[in-house]
């Protein structure tokens, strides 16, 4: 009887982690359907921002409901976000670098970069001096004024 108990106990211990892994599932929380999400970030206030080829969407209730940023529509797609140390959000949009200073509700152009027309470009912020960087076509660009002027520093 002890052997059967030990075998059953051993099987339970061995198989239990697999049960926990495979019993978890994803749940659709809402938002625009039928679109491909390009990027997602979480702000310090708990807001979730998602972008697609048409606009930027945000949620303040962990994804239960979503609102569209009307001002982001004009950029024909937002491809990537960067949350800055100062709370601003910088994004790569089609042909523009855009910025939000109100947690993603409204957006304005900081720099017209006509060569930014495809995916894969991300902006990074230096943790030491808040300079912004991005790489495109083997060149490294840097901005020291919040994304308004960009200089090639490596080609």
16 is a domain residue = no
136 is a domain residue = yes
Q: How far apart are CA 27 and CA 64, in angstroms?
A: 11
pLDDT given at position 3: 72
pLDDT given at position 5: 58
Q: Is 53 left (phi over 0), alpha (psi -120 to 50) or beta?
A: alpha
Q: pLDDT tens digits, residue range 75-92?
A: 878 888 999 999 999 998
Q: Taking Cα atoms as reference points, which of 139, 65, 147, 85 lies closest to residue 113? A: 147
9 is a domain residue = no
Q: How far apart are CA 92 and CA 110, in angstroms?
A: 10
pLDDT given at position 48: 95
4 is a domain residue = no
15 is a domain residue = no
pTM: 0.75
User: How many domains, the chain?
Assistant: 1
pLDDT given at position 79: 85
Q: DSSP secondary-structure letter at 75? A: G
Round the average pLDDT of the chain to a whole number and report it: 82
What is the band of 104 on the pLDDT scale with cuts at 50, 70, 90?
very high
Listed range (1-10, 61-70, 78-87) with the worst mean pLDDT: 1-10
pLDDT given at position 49: 94
DSSP 5-29: HHHHHHHHHHHHHHHHHHH------
Residue with the bigger pLDDT between 40 and 74: it is: 40
87 is a domain residue = yes
Domain residue limits at 71: 27-154
CATH (domain of 94): 2.120.10.10
pLDDT given at position 108: 92
Q: pLDDT tens digits, residue range 111-155?
A: 887 666 556 678 899 999 889 998 888 888 999 999 899 899 998
126 is a domain residue = yes
134 is a domain residue = yes
């Amino acid at each position: 009887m002890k052997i059967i108990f030990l075998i059953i106990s051993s099987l339970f211990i061995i198989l239990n982690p697999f049960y926990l892994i495979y019993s978890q599932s994803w749940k659709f929380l809402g938002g625009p359907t039928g679109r491909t999400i390009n990027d997602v970030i979480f702000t310090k206030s708990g807001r979730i921002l998602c972008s697609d080829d048409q606009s930027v969407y945000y949620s303040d209730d962990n994804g239960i409901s979503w609102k569209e940023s009307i001002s982001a529509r004009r950029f024909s797609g937002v491809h990537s976000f960067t949350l800055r140390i100062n709370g601003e959000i910088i994004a790569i949009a089609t042909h523009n670098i855009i910025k939000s200073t109100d947690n993603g509700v409204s957006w304005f152009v900081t720099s017209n970069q006509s060569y930014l027309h495809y995916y894969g470009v991300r902006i990074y912020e230096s943790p030491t001096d808040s300079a912004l960087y991005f790489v495109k076509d083997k060149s490294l660009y840097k901005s020291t004024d919040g994304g308004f002027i960009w200089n090639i520093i490596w080609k």
